[in-house]
Structure 1
């Protein structure tokens, strides 16, 4: 049997442990990435008789990759900026 324990800290209101044996690693990562799980204290993976802290691994998996703008995006941004400047020119 394998399952995950996600401990969420609500500050003064206390903590909540989310334990669902049917929750897979992929679903935990998805919920962290979507923002459903925030203020995470820790995430433990329980497998058979061992406990492993997988907080850093799951947070790293859930992080969205930084997408750098392409040349076309930069060109469009420049054209938009020039158009906005023209709006404020005296007639």
Structure 2
């Protein structure tokens, strides 16, 4: 039997261990990426009689891709261009 334990830290309100034998590793990653699981203290994989801390692996799998800065710069440049055109308009 294999299952995952996701420990969520609520600060002063305490902690909650989410344990569901039906949830797969992919589902845990999906819930972290979507923001459903936040403030994670650790993720443990329990398989047979062993427990492994897989927090770093799971968090790296769930990490959102970095957005390249050039995309935002291009958009900002487009707006600057529109503003510059308005400066040169004659009324």
TM-score, scaled to structure 2: 0.84
Write the mapping of 1:33-72 to structure 2, written as runs, cut at 5 A.
33-68=33-68
Q: Does 1:82 align with 2:81?
A: yes
CA distance in 1, matches of 2:30, 2:78: 37
What is the CA-CA distance between 1:50 and the residue it aligns to?
Answer: 0.3
CA RMSD of aligned residues (A): 2.2
CA distance in 1, matches of 2:81, 2:17: 52
Judged with a 3 Å threshold, the aligned counterparts in structure 2 of structure 1 residues 68 and 2 are, in CA distance, closer, same or farther, namely same
What is the CA-CA distance between 1:79 and the residue it aligns to?
Answer: 2.7
Cα shift readout 1:21-57 (whole Å, capped 9, x = no counterpart): 0000000000000111001000000000000000000
Q: Which runs of 5+ in 2 are unaligned?
A: none
What is the CA-CA distance between 1:81 and the residue it aligns to?
Answer: 1.7
What is the CA-CA distance between 1:80 and the residue it aligns to?
Answer: 2.5
